């Protein structure tokens, strides 16, 4: 299982990286490589050029911006796992990151790479959607930001343009009520269902609840019906069971050898029930 031929370049500036990516339609960004390399080994991808970001400065920091954290695209899962500022300001990330594969993958895989890959079974797309994160990207046309709600549009499909590089992810740190739930058969497996729920607790009410589901569905998405339930009533009255039923009814789960749609529907219901209970208890 050897990769197909490609050319490789490791530019030293972001401008050079953008230029290389733009110069060839089939050029692809190489970050940690943990998602891309298996595709290459299986010859499911055949890029013409790999643009390695490892020498581009400024993409590997975690900056505290007050109400949000700005995380560079090249920050590794391992760095997130060990980051004191993330543990304090965004504990949902610390909680979720240990579900990503194994330490040997986390030492190389990056937030930016996983996010741009937009794998519906990946932890970051679901969590960034639940946090209402903002992606920062750069292309020959300049810089722009893309809200999470507009970023993940299908399985392995984001709204990043072919010649765009994700440079940072800005994550609000105000959503102090949170829950992350994953059902995976073995440690580090792709989850069969992922649920992330966040909100801003204020006087017994959950403001702006965001609930996202991944893995059990073809594309990560929010559960609007569950969010409505959570927003309508004071937290103490919300029944987790109602939320679970609403979630189960609103999704169109996928079916594959790891679980059929009926099973995944039940899983999502259970995970939503757990997430809502955790949100309530945390408030």
Nearer to other proteins, 125 or 259 (CB): 259
d(CA 127, CA 280): 18
Nearest-approach distance from CB 187 to other proteins, in angstroms: 4
Q: Using the rule CB under 8 A, which residue among 10, 45, 200, 231 binds other proteins?
A: 10
Nearer to other proteins, 68 or 123 (CB): 123
Q: Using the rule CB under 8 A, which residue among 29, 40, 118, 272 binds other proteins?
A: 40
Residue 8 CB burial class (10 angstroms; 0-12, 13-18, ≥19): exposed
Nearest-approach distance from CB 118 to other proteins, in angstroms: 17
Q: Using the rule CB under 8 A, which residue among 41, 85, 153, 249 binds other proteins?
A: 41
Nearest-approach distance from CB 282 to other proteins, in angstroms: 16
d(CA 273, CA 237): 14
How many CB atoms are closer than 10 A to CB 5?
A: 7
Binders in 179-238 for other proteins, by CB under 8 A: 183, 185-190, 192
Residues in binding contact with other proteins, number by CB under 8 A: 64
Nearest-approach distance from CB 232 to other proteins, in angstroms: 17
Q: Using the rule CB under 8 A, which residue among 103, 140, 218, 282 binds other proteins?
A: 103
Nearer to other proteins, 146 or 165 (CB): 165
d(CA 205, CA 194): 24
Q: Using the rule CB under 8 A, which residue among 94, 134, 179, 270 binds other proteins?
A: 270
Q: Which stretch binds other proteins (CB under 8 A): 23-31, 61-69, 164-172, 211-219?
A: 23-31
Nearest-approach distance from CB 202 to other proteins, in angstroms: 23
In the chain the first and final C-alpha atoms are separated, in Å, by 50
Nearest-approach distance from CB 66 to other proteins, in angstroms: 31
Nearest-approach distance from CB 221 to other proteins, in angstroms: 21
The answer to whether residue 78 forms part of the interface with other proteins (CB under 8 A) is yes
Residue 217, helix vs strand vs coil = strand
What DSSP string runs through 20-65? HHHH-TTEEEESS-TTHHHHHHTTS---SEEEE-TT-TTSS-EEE-
Asked whether 206 and 231 are in contact (CB, 8 A), the reply is yes
d(CA 15, CA 142): 10
Q: Which stretch binds other proteins (CB under 8 A): 63-71, 134-142, 162-170, 263-271?
A: 263-271
Which position has the token pair 């560079």? 72
Write b or e for each residue in 169-206: b if 16 or more Cβ atoms lie within 10 A of its Cβ, otherwise e. Answer: bbbbbebebbbbbbbbeeeeebbbbbbbbbbebeeebb
d(CA 179, CA 279): 6
Binding site for other proteins (CB under 8 A): 1-13, 16, 19-20, 23-24, 27, 30, 33-34, 37-38, 40-43, 49-52, 54, 78, 98, 101-105, 107-108, 183, 185-190, 192, 239-241, 257-260, 262-263, 266-267, 270, 274, 277
């Amino acid at each position: 299982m050897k990769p197909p031929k490609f050319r490789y370049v490791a530019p030293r500036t972001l401008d050079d990286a953008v230029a290389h990516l733009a110069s060839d339609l089939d050029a692809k960004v190489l970050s940690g490589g943990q998602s891309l390399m298996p595709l290459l080994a299986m010859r499911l991808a055949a890029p013409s050029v790999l643009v390695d970001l490892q020498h581009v400065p400024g993409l590997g920091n975690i900056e505290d911006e007050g109400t949000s954290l700005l995380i560079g695209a090249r920050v590794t899962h391992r760095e997130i796992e060990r980051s004191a500022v993330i543990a304090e300001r965004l504990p949902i990330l610390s909680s979720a990151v240990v579900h990503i594969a194994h330490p040997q993958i986390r030492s190389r895989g990056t937030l930016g790479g996983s996010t741009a890959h937009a794998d519906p079974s990946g932890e970051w797309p679901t969590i960034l959607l639940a946090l209402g994160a903002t992606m920062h990207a750069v292309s020959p046309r300049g810089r722009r930001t893309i809200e999470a709600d507009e970023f993940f549009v299908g399985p392995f499909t984001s709204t990043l343009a072919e010649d765009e590089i994700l440079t940072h992810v800005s994550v609000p740190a105000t959503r102090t009520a949170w829950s992350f739930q994953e059902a995976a058969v073995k440690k580090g497996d792709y989850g069969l269902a992922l649920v992330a729920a966040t909100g801003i607790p204020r006087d017994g009410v959950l403001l702006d609840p965001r609930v996202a589901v991944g893995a059990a569905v073809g594309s990560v998405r929010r559960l609007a019906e569950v969010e409505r339930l959570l927003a309508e009533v004071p937290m103490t009255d919300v029944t987790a069971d109602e939320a679970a039923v609403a979630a189960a009814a609103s999704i169109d789960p996928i079916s594959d050898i790891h679980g059929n749609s009926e099973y995944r529907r039940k899983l999502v219901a259970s995970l939503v029930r757990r997430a809502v209970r955790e949100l309530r208890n945390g408030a």
